[in-house]
């Protein structure tokens, strides 16, 4: 699985893109991460509304936590999906301290086991770094994956465009070296329906790092959320439930018509070489 590891940069480096020049979120956005408990409170308040959502089809869903987090952090999300009728599974590897020895192999084995056990494709949901795992697993095992949904995942920019890169190096023991080939590979979406849920007020990851390029099977859904609270933000959970109900054979992008337009925005393009705008 292609996850950033320590290593030398290629001798020939490609042209610098707008994505490569991104800076991490500033101090104000970092301070706004303190709103995460309010997002959990909003989830509790929105529970009667969320409980009225149509049930899912019961297919298996595997959820990956973010950097430095464990399955405890994804418990509200998994509980919500379980209530919708899905067969929800945690990653069961303790704290996510990066792709250390054996982690990626265990992720792969768990995905294949769930696919064989349920005899159907598995949807993958990943929060932050967990979304990078989910995307790369889907690239390796497209026949086993139904769809991929990421929450504030930094797959489209340099690792230093986040406020977590030093922590990543500390806990993983790996360097975020300028491996342009690997960074370009991570930007490419899987071949299955792929949704990125992101926030322009993310205080950890530069939001442009969470944008899929435009393909018939990709989309980007903007919500009002913090990075730390995204996995329990009611708007994010509503979008996740909507995406999981999609038939992969007749997949359509998230519909923002009607009342949804007040709460969501969709972005169909990632930043290009000519600039950072979308």
Tell me: the pLDDT tens digits for 32-75? 999 999 999 999 999 999 999 999 999 999 999 999 999 999 99
CATH H superfamily, domain 27-245+261-266: Alpha/Beta hydrolase fold, catalytic domain (3.40.50.1820)
Tell me whether strands 265-266 and 122-127 are parallel, antiparallel or unpaired.
Answer: unpaired
CB hemisphere CA count around 160 (13 angstroms): 10
Domain locations in the chain?
27-245+261-266
pLDDT at res. 17: 61
Nearest-angstrom CA–CA distance, 250 and 248: 5
- What is the chain's mean pLDDT, rounded? 90
Query: pLDDT below 50 — which residues of the chain?
Result: 1-2, 4-16, 272-278
pTM of the model: 0.90
Nearest-angstrom CA–CA distance, 125 and 256: 21
- In sequence order, the 6+-apart residues with CB closer than 8 A to the CB of 26 are none
Tell me: the pLDDT tens digits for 5-38? 444 444 444 444 666 678 999 999 999 999 999 9
Is 223 in a helix, a strand, or coil?
Answer: coil
CA dist list (Å): 242 to 56, 199, 236, 250 = 9, 18, 10, 14
User: Which structure tokens are listed for 27?
Assistant: 């101090």
């Amino acid at each position: 699985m292609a996850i950033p590891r320590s290593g030398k940069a290629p001798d020939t480096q490609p042209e610098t893109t707008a994505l490569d020049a991104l800076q991490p979120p500033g101090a104000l956005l970092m301070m706004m991460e303190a709103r995460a408990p309010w997002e959990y409170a909003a989830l509790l308040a929105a529970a009667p509304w969320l409980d009225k959502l149509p049930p899912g089809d019961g297919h298996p869903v595997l959820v990956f936590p973010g950097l430095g987090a464990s399955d405890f952090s994804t418990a509200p999300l998994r509980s919500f999906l379980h209530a919708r009728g899905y067969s929800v599974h945690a990653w069961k590897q303790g704290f996510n301290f990066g792709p250390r020895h054996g982690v990626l192999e265990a992720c792969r084995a768990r995905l294949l086991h769930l696919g064989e056990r349920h005899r159907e494709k598995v949807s993958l949901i990943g929060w932050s770094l967990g979304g990078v795992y989910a995307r790369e697993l889907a690239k390796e095992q497209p026949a086993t994956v139904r769809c991929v949904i990421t929450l504030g995942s930094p797959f489209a920019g340099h690792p230093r465009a986040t406020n977590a890169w030093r922590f990543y190096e500390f806990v993983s023991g790996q360097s975020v070296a300028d491996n342009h080939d690997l960074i370009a590979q991570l930007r490419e979406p899987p071949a299955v329906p792929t949704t990125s849920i992101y926030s322009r007020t993310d205080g950890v990851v530069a939001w442009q790092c969470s944008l899929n390029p435009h393909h018939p099977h990709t989309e980007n859904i903007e919500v009002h959320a913090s990075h730390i609270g995204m996995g329990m933000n009611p708007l994010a959970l509503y979008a996740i439930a909507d995406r999981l109900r999609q038939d992969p054979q007749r997949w359509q992008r998230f519909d923002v018509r009607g009342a949804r337009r007040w709460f969501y925005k969709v972005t169909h393009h990632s930043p290009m070489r000519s600039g950072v705008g979308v």
